[in-house]
Structure 1
Amino acid sequence: MSKHAISNEKESVGKIFKKFMHVIGINHRLCKWILPCNLGKNIIMAGLPYVGIVYGCDILNALVAQEAKSNIMSMVYQLLGITFVMTLLYHILDKAGNAMRDSIRYRIKADISGKAASLDYQELESQESMQLLTAALEGEKESGGIYWFSDKLGVLIGDVASIFYAFIVLVPILTKKQHLVGNGAMQILNSKWIIYLIFLLNLCSMFLFMWISKRGNKKQYEIYEESLDAIRKDDYFYREILSKYTTGKEIRLYALKDLLLRDMTEVWNEKCDIQDRKLDIQEKIKIRYLIVQALLLVVSYTVIGVRGVNGMITGAEVVKYVSALTALGGACQYMVDHFETVLLNMQYLHHYYEYLQLPNHKKTGDKSVADLKPQELVITFEDVSFQYPGSKKDSLKHINLTFHYGEKIALVGPNGAGKTTLILLLCRLYEPTQGRILLNGIDIREYDYEEYLAMFGVVFQDFKLFAMTVAENVAASEEYDEQKIEEVLEKAGIWDRVRKMEHGIHNPLYNVGIKGVEVSGGEAQKIAIARALYKNAPFIILDEPTSALDPMAEYEIYSGFDRLIQDRMAVYISHRMSSCRFCERIVVLKDGQVQEQGSHEELIDRDGIYAMMWNAQAQNYQ
């Protein structure tokens, strides 16, 4: 995360501007009308007080001068008309912006979810990528989101407009020829130059406000970065433990509640401490702002008050100019505050931009597999080694293997031998750190990534079914052939169970927002196998998906599966030697290397690792 952090380093104006334009680009892409809408409503809102100030002064002067009632009422009607139109426009734009807000939030979540689903698989194990994902999600939440950014940017422009409006209102007192009265300090207070001095003081206060805000926001951003680990832990407890049906058994049987609550309490205390620190910083910023603003108001009230006492301006003009100067001071403070807030918000949201810009290296190939004849497909591992990110040990070492279409191969070996890793490389979910994998003599990285993936139907040992209908889980699509769905469920030995569900193949699985069916581990595995069959891919891989079944049931599924896939290539992984006996070739892995390969009979005769594993399990096959 350190390379993405900005709190401990100064950034150039050009870099900040570049980030700003990135976030503006996000706004425009998500909704091109959101910025104009928020800018317009805030410029209108900034002008409303000044309409009241100017017209209020004119009406009060007219009353004092006892002008004609028609003239006074004309000004009243103008005030009411302009105020009504501006207020109406403001509410129209505000309502339009609110209508866009939820849509923008949904699109942001869709962007992040879509990126997470399409990101290179190996990036999901990258601490930096996952931290950036957390920062993108939490930054969007912490900052209030894209809509809030555009709204605050609009408020900032409104503050600039307010300063401009204040200057326009104060123009008469700055340009009017004045006859100074009194001596010394009184002449200074009566001089128009003192008004310029007040402008200068307000300008200086802006730099002071900026310094206060910058220090405070820097500390808040540092606290935000510190909080990411606590946020991920909190999310883990709620999403991965308390809300999961499968974890409820262990929590109850092993009385884990107190242990979990202990860890959760530590996380909650950490988050509360972080929040208290942020509130303390915000309170200090607010107090410093109030002190500076109070001093400016004292100077402004004194100058205008002296002029009113000396008869240089009317009572109505005293109210007008005091109100304008007060609004000016507030606008200067708020402009700086909102400017720093926009910058801080931009930093939060830029993580969202950075996350979406993470490259997908695997989609670089352009060769099509469509013209390759299935019966001629050959995949070759050529001196392949692999090391997981962050690991110092190779999980696979100098693997040389060939897989022919139509061949039935079993991968066996102890835990940690590298069986699943080899499958991940075969499916191109990971890239070799050494060597290469060839499809018909061509590096698989040269093929179109999506087309290459479509060649594999895989059931992993940690397979997942989702809270959607049985049919959608099997077809992995909302469009499917119902007859084919039923056929593959029948072949996988799960059709009788699905047929008895209330809605059959249209019945949802799991209770997530809708009333679904909870299936057992063995039933889920059979549905996952049906999914692999439905895909009708040329290469089928079963990576211990039947671990929840007894040895006889596993053998029946594997041997039956062998008949179902006909002449397609199949790779079976199992710790149960009997389940792989029917395979034409058995590859024995140990310590990331190929130790033996051959048929069951050949390996038994060799009396090596496979024979030892077979004899150790032989009592289970009698």
Structure 2
Amino acid sequence: MENEKTTPTYHQAWKMNLRAWKIWWGLCPGVFFSTLASSITEAITPYVTIFFSARIINELAGNRRPEELTKWVILTLSCTAICALLQGIFSRWANYEKASASRLDSQIYMKKMLALDYADIDRQAVFDLYSQIRQNDQWTGWGIYKTLYFFEELVMAVVQIAGGVSLSVSLFLLKVPQNSSLALINHPLFAVGIMGLMLLIAAVSPICVNQGNQYWVRYASKAKLGNRIFGFYGQMPMDKKRAWDIRMYQQQENVCDVYFSQTELFTPNSAIGRNAKGPMGLWNALSRCVSAILTGVVYAFVCLKAWAGAFGVGSVTQYVGAITQLFQGLSRLLQVLGMMRANGEFLQDNFAFLDIPNRMYQGSLTTEKRSDRNYEVEFRDVSFRYPDTDQWALRHVNIKFRVGSRLAVVGMNGSGKTTFIKLLCRLYDPTEGEILLNGINIRKYRYDEYIRIFSVVFQDFKLLSLPLGENVAGAARYDRDRVKQCLEDAGFGQRLEALPHGLDTYLHKDLKDEGVDISGGEAQKIAIARALYKDAPFIILDEPTAALDPIAEAEIYSRFNDIVTDKTAIYISHRLSSCKFCDEIAVFHEGEIVQMGTHEELAADTSGKYYELWNAQAQYYTE
């Protein structure tokens, strides 16, 4: 993932596109069938008109037989109507499938994100890579979804070329009369020379377009910054949580507007703006110029043979139209191949993200389900540092949890408390040392089973804009009686009775207008009820009440302590008064456990860190 990107070859780009198509085939195969039908119909329709129009004009310029004219007119109208009907049906089908695919595009990355090791999710490099992918898509639509457009264009190009060849091959086979002064045209070398000239001109046009497209590729990294700025400052006024600050400090005028006006990325003077007015515009103009030259060559050659007597005036329409479509198909083919190569640079980002390996060993041992909840966890000389840093977050931590006990973890910001919980839940593996569950290294247990023994209420917990019951159960189907009991145990019972639809009441108004907004304290009670519903033997509260005042926090912890029964509970808090009821307190400082003991023991040690923290906060406590 850290390797620098290189411009892929056409072969490499083709392999990446095949891989992208394979992904789409697994997600929505209908998009290929519908696109195939729609593209073939759309590409054939002009040839139907060209062919029948030539027959009618030849008859009008020749014998003018009414019955023949009638036949060709009826065939023209019938076939054109059928093609239009089929094109409308298939186009609507293709649009539906492509819209469905567009919705599934983000699902590709969501599934990968959910499958990633948490250690990778937490890395800045992974965030930057995923951000680049989304910005590429927002910038010009490059990436995996773009490959569906390439498939459509390739089918169109191939059918156009095949149709053009079938209707124009006779142009080179029909001979000019030998007594004509232009009989030289019959020489095979003349036909080869004309065909070679047409192919050369047809190849130059897409080359010019592809050269212009390269500027979009080169500007993609700068566009990422521009899209981030626009996404943040452009959408900030719509964020209800920022509405107060924006108005009180006039941030829209003093920050947002100024930032936009001073950011070159949004102006005609930006690099991409200057290139669009300069080389990009010139390349596209040159492409159109070359296309016009090709049209002129086609007209000249066809008219020259018709004037020399090789075929009638109706055939002129057929050959001009057919060859024009043929070389449009050829130009389209070369252009899409060039775009596929350009898109290959963006696909490198997509597949670098999708190919991030899962390095965390998943284990194979089954976590025994004990009715007595007799689980013992021990940290044995555990040290840890986060990826991409040399600084130790934890150093030589040794601790053993007593089953059914209440452990408080306290310390200043950055002391290692949350890192300790991440290691306990095996979101990370220790850099040194080992963590044991019932005497066995937790890496040997099946990962999915190990994490089931923990219920955690994180400091920055999130509730979904879904019905209350589903938020608590974490599932669409759940035991309603258990959910109600958990909400009552968490102190949410009275509020539940007042909700208009009970457990079916939507939280927030993102999905339902009748959804209800809840306070911070109510949200914390729902999060605690969610932890209770999981009914895991270990329950962890990682500063979920940091936004509350000390008294309210103590009340929540006290209530929670009464309902955890025989579970092992771990509390993390800045406020020491909330942890007085715990059996044991572990004091963290600079990544190490510097003290262990009860509140009374630690408070009596006047030289200890706990005593220092306790006295610093004493003014907020009520005895």
TM-score > 0.5, shorter chain as reference: yes
Q: Is this contact kept in 1: 2:133–2:143, CA < 8 A?
A: no
Change (3 A) 1:237 1:4: farther
Give the counterpart letter for 2:201 in structure 1.
Answer: S
**In structure 2, distance between residues paired with 1:138 and 1:398:** 42
- Which residue number corresponds to residue 44 of structure 2? 47
**In structure 1, distance between residues paired with 2:4 and 2:83:** 43
**In structure 2, distance between residues paired with 1:417 and 1:403:** 20
Give the counterpart letter for 2:596 in structure 1.
Answer: Q
**In structure 1, distance between residues paired with 2:178 and 2:221:** 58
- Which residue number corresponds to residue 339 of structure 2? 341
Structure 1 residue 539: deviation in Å?
0.5
Output aligned runs, 1:273-352, within 5 Å. Answer: 273=270, 276=273, 279-280=276-277, 283-345=281-343, 348=346, 351-352=349-350
Q: Which stretch of structure 1 is more off in the superposition, 566-575 or 81-90?
A: 81-90
Structure 1 residue 67: deviation in Å?
4.7
- Which residue number corresponds to residue 468 of structure 1? 466
Change (3 A) 1:61 1:488: closer
Give the counterpart letter for 2:251 in structure 1.
Answer: L
Structure 1 residue 264: deviation in Å?
5.1
Q: Is this contact kept in 2: 1:457–1:539, CA < 8 A?
A: yes
**In structure 1, distance between residues paired with 2:449 and 2:615:** 42
Give the counterpart letter for 1:523 in structure 2.
Answer: E
Output aligned runs, 1:440-589, within 5 Å. Answer: 440-515=438-513, 516-589=515-588
TM-score normalised by L of structure 1: 0.90
Structure 1 residue 44: deviation in Å?
2.9
**In structure 2, distance between residues paired with 1:75 and 1:233:** 61
Q: Which stretch of structure 1 is more off in the superposition, 22-31 or 293-302?
A: 293-302
Q: Is this contact kept in 2: 1:43–1:154, CA < 8 A?
A: no
Structure 1 residue 277: deviation in Å?
5.6
Output aligned runs, 1:84-483, within 5 Å. Answer: 84-141=81-138, 142-143=140-141, 149-180=147-178, 188=184, 191=187, 193-237=189-233, 241-262=236-257, 265=260, 269-271=264-266, 273=270, 276=273, 279-280=276-277, 283-345=281-343, 348=346, 351-362=349-360, 364-372=362-370, 374-483=372-481
Output aligned runs, 1:606-621, within 5 Å. Answer: 606-607=605-606, 608-619=608-619, 620-621=621-622
**Residue 66 of structure 2 is aligned to residue 69 of structure 1:** yes
Q: Root-mean-square deviation (CA), in Å?
A: 2.9
Structure 1 residue 601: deviation in Å?
2.5
**Residue 19 of structure 2 is aligned to residue 11 of structure 1:** no
**Residue 37 of structure 2 is aligned to residue 36 of structure 1:** no
Q: Which runs of 5+ in 1 are unaligned?
A: none
Name the SS of the counterpart of 1:397 in structure 2: strand
Structure 1 residue 133: deviation in Å?
2.2
**In structure 2, distance between residues paired with 1:95 and 1:535:** 46
Q: Is this contact kept in 2: 1:223–1:278, CA < 8 A?
A: no
**Residue 23 of structure 2 is aligned to residue 26 of structure 1:** yes
Give the counterpart letter for 1:226 in structure 2.
Answer: K
Q: Is this contact kept in 1: 2:417–2:588, CA < 8 A?
A: yes
Give the counterpart letter for 2:21 in structure 1.
Answer: I
Q: Which stretch of structure 1 is more off in the superposition, 368-377 or 552-561?
A: 368-377
**In structure 2, distance between residues paired with 1:122 and 1:445:** 15
Change (3 A) 1:438 1:102: same
Name the SS of the counterpart of 2:110 in structure 1: helix
Structure 1 residue 231: deviation in Å?
2.1
**In structure 2, distance between residues paired with 1:581 and 1:435:** 30
Name the SS of the counterpart of 1:364 in structure 2: coil
| Equivalenced residues, count | 616
TM-score normalised by L of structure 2: 0.90
**In structure 1, distance between residues paired with 2:554 and 2:358:** 40
**In structure 1, distance between residues paired with 2:261 and 2:578:** 47
After superposition, give the CA deviation of every residue in 1:386-413 in whole Å (9 maximum; x if it has no partner): 2223333111112111123212111111
Q: Is this contact kept in 1: 2:202–2:294, CA < 8 A?
A: no
Q: Is this contact kept in 1: 2:168–2:319, CA < 8 A?
A: yes
Q: Is this contact kept in 1: 2:465–2:506, CA < 8 A?
A: yes
Name the SS of the counterpart of 2:304 in structure 1: helix
Q: Is this contact kept in 2: 1:35–1:151, CA < 8 A?
A: no
Change (3 A) 1:100 1:529: same
After superposition, give the CA deviation of every residue in 1:462-499 in whole Å (9 maximum; x if it has no partner): 22222222222222222233333232222222322332
Identity %: 32
Change (3 A) 1:243 1:427: farther
Name the SS of the counterpart of 1:398 in structure 2: strand
Q: Which stretch of structure 1 is more off in the superposition, 219-228 or 343-352?
A: 343-352
Q: Which runs of 5+ in 2 are unaligned?
A: none
Structure 1 residue 352: deviation in Å?
4.3
